[in-house]
Structure 1
Amino acid sequence: MKAAHEDQLLLLDLQKLDQQESRLRHQRDSHPAHATLKELAGRADDLRRAAVTQTAVISDIRRESEKLETEVDKVRTRRTTQQGRLDGGEVPLRDMSAMEHEIARMDQRISDLEDAQLDAEERLEAAEGAERAMRDEAVAIAADVEATRAQFSEDMSGVEAELRRIMAERRELAERVPEDLLAEYERSRSRNGALAVIEVREGVAMGAATDLAPAELGVIARIPDDEVYWAEETGQLVVRTGASR
């Protein structure tokens, strides 16, 4: 294809801007804050899963404690009733021994249930303490996330400003490049990344993925100024400067 040599030269400036943008994006994307935020997000996810499990544990212990309390009240009520009958002389003499034995068994049952209830209450207190610790940790993680983001914003403020400037300059420059030539540049950039264009200066290839053969350099030196040339070996666009024209 044909393109004015002056327009071809714009591709070198465009490539410089693209390389600067790529460098700044890499600087931003490789900032340690990203790894820190990823680690904090992992901790937060683990904590949320643990909190769900802990909530279920607390609910189970509470149900257990309530069941024990109900059973204690039930046995204690019956014990009071039976003791009242015994004290009031309502129990026949032949049944008194059995009644006393039943009351003794209920006393033991109440003692066992109260011990179990105390154990449940202690486990509930520990579980609720663990849950509070999880909430505290969640607050600490959230604070770390905010601090990390703030530090990232502070560190990258200059980079972001420079990136915006370069992107704006790049848009303005791209508008000056003919559409068909710009499309060829973008096609080369999609294949070759930051080295879309080779500058051949004074017969020397600058920015080539591989050295151009002398024969190809000879061909490049002979083509008209307005001819857009693709390097055979590398698939990059070639722009000539200086005596290479």
Structure 2
Amino acid sequence: MKAPHPQQLVLLELQKLDQKESSLRHRRQAHPAHETVRELAARLADLRRAAVSQSAVISDCERESTRIEEEIERVRQRRDRQSERIEKNQVPLRDINSMQHEIAQMDERIKRLEEDQLSAEERTDAARNAQTQMNAEAEAIEADIESTKARFLEETAELDDELRSVIAQRRERAAQIDAALLEEYEAARDKNGALAVIEVRDGNAMGFAELSPMELERIRLTPSDELYFAEDTGQIVVRTRS
């Protein structure tokens, strides 16, 4: 593929800008605020689920309390009817003892039901208090999340400015080369990541690139306006001079 040598040189600048952008994005992503927010969000989700569970507990306790209250009322009504019959001499003498015994049993039944009702009400109050505490803690965590996000934006403001600048420079450099050459560069990036381009300066591979003497000789003999791809990796080779 033909590509003017000056445009090939732009690929080296593009690579540096891409590497810089990648580094800046990594620094941004590695900011401890991200992990803090994730941990807080997980805790918040747990609290919200627990609060919902407490709502179920409250409903169950309230239903139990209502059921017991209804049962107490039924027993009281029967006890009162039986007591009234005795008071009005409506019960045969032979049945009075058994009826009084039944009334005593109903009194005891009412006492136990009232204790059960009190226990259900106490469980309801405990669940409500727990839910209130959970909601308060959740609100505090939400505030912590927002403050962490605000602090993150403040601490990364300078980094974001630099990132925007790098992106703008990259866009400007990319506009200086032909679309076909840019497409080849992007393909090399997809295959080789941050090292899409190898610089060969004065016949020597720069950086961590490894090219055999035979390939370096082929690179030297390739016309300057011919795009050269490394045989093993498909990286673009750009030749420079000191």
TM-score (norm 1): 0.94
Amino acid at match of 1:238: V
Deviations 1:152-209 (A, max 9, x none): 111111111111111111111101111111111111011111111111112221244x
Displacement of 1:214 in angstroms is 1.2
Residue 135 of structure 1 aligns to a residue whose secondary structure is helix
Displacement of 1:16 in angstroms is 0.8
1:3 aligns with 2:3: yes
Amino acid at match of 2:52: V
Q: Percent identity?
A: 56
Q: Which residue of 2 aligns with 1:123?
A: 123
Q: Which residue of 1 aligns with 2:231?
A: 232
Displacement of 1:234 in angstroms is 2.6
| Contact 1:205–1:212 (8 Å) recurs in 2 | yes
Q: Which residue of 2 aligns with 1:85?
A: 85
1:54 aligns with 2:58: no
- Structure 1 unaligned regions, length at least 5: none
Q: CA RMSD in A?
A: 1.4
Q: Which residue of 2 aligns with 1:73?
A: 73
Moved over 3 A (4+): none
Question: Mapping of 1:133-212 within 5 angstroms?
Answer: 133-208=133-208, 210-212=209-211
Residue 211 of structure 2 aligns to a residue whose secondary structure is coil
| Contact 1:195–1:207 (8 Å) recurs in 2 | no
Displacement of 1:8 in angstroms is 0.6
Distance (whole Å) between structure 1 residues aligned to residue 126 and residue 165 of structure 2: 57
Residue 110 of structure 1 aligns to a residue whose secondary structure is helix
Distance (whole Å) between structure 2 residues aligned to residue 179 and residue 92 of structure 1: 112
The more displaced of 69-78 and 15-24 is 69-78
Residue 239 of structure 1 aligns to a residue whose secondary structure is strand
1:214 aligns with 2:206: no
TM-score (norm 2): 0.95
| Contact 1:197–1:207 (8 Å) recurs in 2 | no
Residue 176 of structure 1 aligns to a residue whose secondary structure is coil
Residue 177 of structure 1 aligns to a residue whose secondary structure is coil
| Contact 2:230–2:236 (8 Å) recurs in 1 | yes
- Structure 2 unaligned regions, length at least 5: none
The more displaced of 184-193 and 35-44 is 35-44
Distance (whole Å) between structure 1 residues aligned to residue 233 and residue 98 of structure 2: 104
Distance (whole Å) between structure 2 residues aligned to residue 231 and residue 77 of structure 1: 98
